Amino acid sequence: MTTILKPHGTTEDDITAEVLRRFDATGEPRLRQIMQSLVRHLHAFVKDVELTEAEWMNAIQFLTETGHMCSDKRQEFILLSDTLGVSMVVDLINHRKPEGATESTVFGPFHREGAPELPAGGNMAPRDMKGIPTVVSGRVLTLDGEPIAGARLDVWQADSSGLYDSQYAETDELHLRGQFRTDEEGRFLIRTVRPVYYAIPTDGPVGRMLSATNRHPWRPAHIHFVVSAEGYEPVTTHIFDDADPYLESDTVFAVKDSLICTFVRHDIREPEAARFGLEPPFCTARFDFVLKRRG
């Protein structure tokens, strides 16, 4: 009787097993774990949906376009990761905080280096004439409630039209960005405009994915912060306006209850206005950041 030798890779599962085997020799154990898990999940996904050749080609074109859309002002891959919820899963896995420490959320694609150092009360939005003047104040504290002096707050937000400075093609100027420091009692004071809800950029493949799946592109109004201090773990986070209609459906899944903050609107002249040199209407918001010691 003749034995028929089965060539490698006759079935779908043979291919998966053989690809996994080829990564067995990877010297770096973490890289081996990542590559083999990636292959396992990717193959399972393709088999699960029985991907057609046309769909596979579509996916290749989508990823190619995503790459072409990237520049030093635009990061379509981060946007894709954000809208698929991957960024928030990575955030949650990597920042398991003790009770009481300020929670982190997505970094997003709009941070820029080199924001101006501003004094307490410095205005991040000197050219935004439409926005409601807003003062954000609070303290940076330890888990025990002690003030952290000299903590740095790197702050950025969209303007009252819902756009970041880098989305204006005609200028490279930094606007609605600032770096603030806390005083001896851990206090900070930021002058800005009230944030508004805005749509993430929809003129690329991520926008097409959202509209093809009937998803909206809106992010609830927020201000971005990276808060850091010597000897403490920095936190990348936002504060969200509690009056926003998109808190429940943020297109990048980044809202956490502990980051929701009340923006109080002041419509009449009151001592608060004089303190900040503001004419009504204006808003005030208070938020304390709590950092965990390193190690």
Piece in contact with ligand BEZ (CB under 6 A), picked from 50-58, 105-113, 139-147, 275-283: 105-113
Minimum separation from the CB atom of position 73 to ligand BEZ (A): 13
Residue 16 or 166 having the CB closest to ligand BEZ: 166
The β-bridge relationship of strands 260-261 and 235-241 is parallel
Q: Is 106 in the site for ligand BEZ (CB under 6 A)?
A: yes
Question: Which of 102, 110, 138, 182 is close enough to bind ligand BEZ by CB under 6 A?
Answer: 110
Asked if residue 156 lies in contact with residue 183, where contact means CB atoms within 8 angstroms, the answer is no
CA torsion through residues 16, 17, 22, 25, sign:
positive
Contact 261, 286 (CB under 8 A): yes
Asked whether the beta carbons of 267 and 281 are under 8 A apart, the reply is yes
Q: How far is the CB of 10 from ligand BEZ (least distance, A)?
A: 44
Please identify the residue of the shown chain whose CB is closest to the bound ligand BEZ.
108
Cβ pair 107, 142 in contact under 8 A: no
The site string for ligand BEZ over 248-267 (x = CB under 6 A, - otherwise) reads ----x---------------
Instruction: Kindly tell me which of 79 and 115 has the beta carbon lying closer to ligand BEZ.
Output: 79
> Interacting stretch for ligand BEZ, rule CB under 6 A, among 13-21, 106-114, 126-134, 256-264?
106-114
CA gap 220, 224 in Å, rounded = 12
Closer of 164 and 232 to ligand BEZ (Cβ): 164
User: What is residue 224's three-state secondary structure?
Assistant: strand
Instruction: Name which of 102, 87, 94, 92 is nearest 250 in CA terms.
Output: 87
Site for ligand BEZ in 207-246 (CB under 6 A): 219
Q: Which is nearer to ligand BEZ, 196 or 229 (CB)?
A: 196
Nearest 5°: phi and psi at 219? Answer: -115, 135
Nearest-approach distance from CB 118 to ligand BEZ, in angstroms: 20
Residues comprising the chain, all counted: 295
Q: Exactly one of 88, 108, 235, 263 binds ligand BEZ (CB under 6 A); which one?
A: 108
Q: Name residue, tokens 């303290």.
A: 139
Residues forming the site for ligand BEZ (CB under 6 A):
79, 82, 106, 108-110, 200, 219, 252
